[in-house]
Amino acid sequence: TDGSLKVEKYWEPPLAVEKLQLPSEEIEAELLRLLRESVKLRMISDVPLGAFLSGGIDSGAIVALMAQESSRPIKTFSIGFEEEEYNELPYARLTAERYHTDHHEFIVKPDIAEVLPLLVRHYNEPFADSSALPTYYVSKMTRQHVTVALSGDGGDESFAGYRRYAFDAAENRVRAFLPAAIRQPVFGLAAALYPKADWLPQPLRAKSTLKNLSLDPARGYFTSVYGALAQQRSALLTDDLQNGLAGYDPFNVFDEHYRRANTTDPVARAQYVDIKTYLTDDILVKVDRASMAVSLEVRCPLLDHKVMELAARMPTSLKLRNGAGKYIFKRAVSRILPPEILTRRKQGFVLPAAEWLRGEMRPLAESLLFDASMKDGLLNAAHVQQLWQSHQSGLRDQSRTLWTILMFRLWQKTFMEARASA
C-alpha cells in the first residue's frame, strides 16, 4: 500500500480458545463430517485424479472417503521395499481390496547414482529427508496414470500421531515432579554413563530419554525431533565454521515457535511447533517438490483449515491416550477402515537407509563423504570418518546423520562446483 509492504499472519491453529466440552461421540461425528467435506472439495477436478495409499490410517481414510464419493473405482498408488520390515504394501492392499480401487504398486530399488543427483537438482537446497526418495518414486508412478493425487499428510501433527508426543508427555510429567536443579545433574550424569547401543531392544535404549530429562521442555523436544543431528552438531562442524556462525543455533528458530504457542499444554505446544517447522519445512516441501518434479499436483485434505481448527480445539486426552496417538481420529474412521490398519503399530514413510548405506549405496556414499576436493573447512573429517566406521560396524545406526552429510555434499557438487566453473 502506497509503496510499502506489510507481511502478516492470516491464520493460526486456535490453541487459545476454550476446548470442546462435547461428548466424544459428537466430536467424532463432526470430525468425520469435516473430513468427508474436505475430501469432496479436493476431488473437484477436470483432470484424472487418484490417491497415494500407504498402509497407514491417514491415507487409508482419505481413500475410503474418496471411494464413498465416487461412482468409479479410485486409482490408488503404493510403493514398497524388498526389505520386509519397511514394506507396507500388504497393508495398503487391505484398504485397496476393501474399496475395490484400481490399485498400482511399485517396489523401490536403489538406483541411487541416477536418482539422488536428480532429486538434489529439483530440491535446489540441501534437503536431507531420505523419504524424498520414495516420495519421488510414488509421484512418478502416479503421474503415469493421473494428474492430481490426494495424500494423507498432516494427520500426525494435528492428531498427535507421532510416537514422540507420547514420549514428550511422559518426560514432561517427570519434569513437573522434579525441579531442574535436581534433574539436570542427576539425569545428565546418568545419560553420560549409560551406553549408547542401537542393537539393544527399544525399552533398553534409555540414553536419549535420560539426556532429554536433563533438558528444559523446549530443548528436550528439539532433541526428540532432530536426535543425533542436534547432539552431534558441535562435533560435526569445524571450529572455524562454528566461530563464523557467531553463536547461531538452529534451536533458536524452534524455541521461538515453542514459546509463541499460546497454550500451557506441552503436547499441544509440541504439535504447534511441528506445524510451524517440521510439517511446513520438511513434509510439505518434500511432497511438493518431488511431485512437481513429475508435474503431479498433490492435495492434502487433512490440512483443510476447518479440520485443523477442530483438532486444535480438542483436548489432548482425545488425541493421545494410554501412550497411543490419534485416539479420536481412529474412532471417527473405525467403520470405514480394515481393523488391521487401525491396530497396527505406526510405521513412518521411511526407506531402509541404514541397510543401503552398508550395501548398495556404500560406493557412492564413500566417494562423496571422503572426496578429497571437499576439504573446505566446513565439516570435521575425522568425525565423519568415525560416524562412517561406527555405522559400518553394525552396532550403531548413524544413517540419519550420514544421509544429511551425503545430501549436503551432493548439493555442493551439483550447485557450488557448477557455479565455480561458470
* 345: exposed, middle or buried (Cβ count in 10 Å: 0-12, 13-18, 19+): exposed
Rounded CA gap, 62 and 379, in Å? 43
pLDDT more than 90, % of the chain: 66
Using only C-alpha atoms, the chain has a radius of gyration, in whole angstroms, of 22
Q: What whole-number distance in Å separates Cα of residue 260 and Cα of residue 230?
A: 21
The three-class DSSP label of residue 149 is strand
* 349, pLDDT greater than 80: no
Q: Are strands 49-52 and 297-299 parallel, antiparallel or unpaired?
A: unpaired
pLDDT tens sequence across 1-13: 999 999 998 998 8
What does residue 376 show for φ and ψ, rounded to 5 degrees?
-110, 10
Q: Which among 334, 306, 351 is positioned nearest to 110, based on CA atoms? A: 351
Whole-angstrom distance between the N-terminal and C-terminal Cα of the chain? 40
pLDDT tens sequence across 110-162: 677 788 999 999 999 999 999 999 999 999 999 999 999 999 999 999 999 99
Residue 302: partners with Cβ closer than 8 Å, 6 or more residues away? 35, 38, 58, 62, 152, 153, 154, 155, 158, 308
Strand order in the sheet with 75-81: 102-108, 75-81, 49-52, 148-150, 297-299
Q: Are the C-beta atoms of residues 43 and 65 closer than 8 Å to each other?
A: no
Q: Which residue has the higher pLDDT, 80 or 418?
A: 80
Q: How far apart are CA 18 and CA 23, in angstroms?
A: 15
Q: What is the pLDDT of residues 292-347, one digit of tens each?
A: 999 999 999 999 999 999 999 999 999 999 989 999 999 999 999 999 999 888 76
pLDDT at 72: 94
3-state secondary structure of 52: strand
Residue holding cell 562435533?
A: 235
Query: Where residue 198 falls among pLDDT bands split at 50, 70, 90?
Result: low
Pairing of strands 75-81, 102-108: parallel
Residues 6 or more apart whose CB falls under 8 angstroms from that of 131 comprise 286, 348, 349, 350, 351
Model confidence pLDDT, tens digit, residues 12-21: 888 877 788 8
From residue 70, how far is each of 42, 67, 100 by CA, in Å?
A: 12, 5, 12
* pLDDT at residue 192, as a whole number: 75
Nearest to residue 142, comparing CAs of 63, 202, 235, 227? 63
* Interval 236-263: pLDDT, tens: 999 999 999 998 999 999 999 999 998 8
Q: Which tens digit of pLDDT belongs to each residue from 390-409? A: 999 988 899 999 999 999 99
State CA 348 to chain mean position distance: 8
Cell numbers standing for residue 167: 514420549
Tell me the pLDDT of the chain averaged across its residues.
Answer: 90
Q: Taking phi first (over 0 means left), then psi (-120 to 50 degrees means alpha), and beta for anything else, what does residue 51 get? A: beta
Q: Distance between CA atoms of 335 and 310, rounded to whole angstroms?
A: 20
Give the model's pLDDT for residue 65: 98
- pLDDT on residue 204: 47
Confidence check: pLDDT of 185 > 70 = yes
> Other C-beta atoms within 10 Å of 10: how many?
4
* CA 344, chain centre distance (Å): 19
Q: How many Å apart are CA 62 and CA 35, to the nearest integer?
A: 8
pTM of the model: 0.91
Task: Determine contact, residues 53/29, Cβ cutoff 8 Å.
Answer: no
CA distance 223 to 212: 7
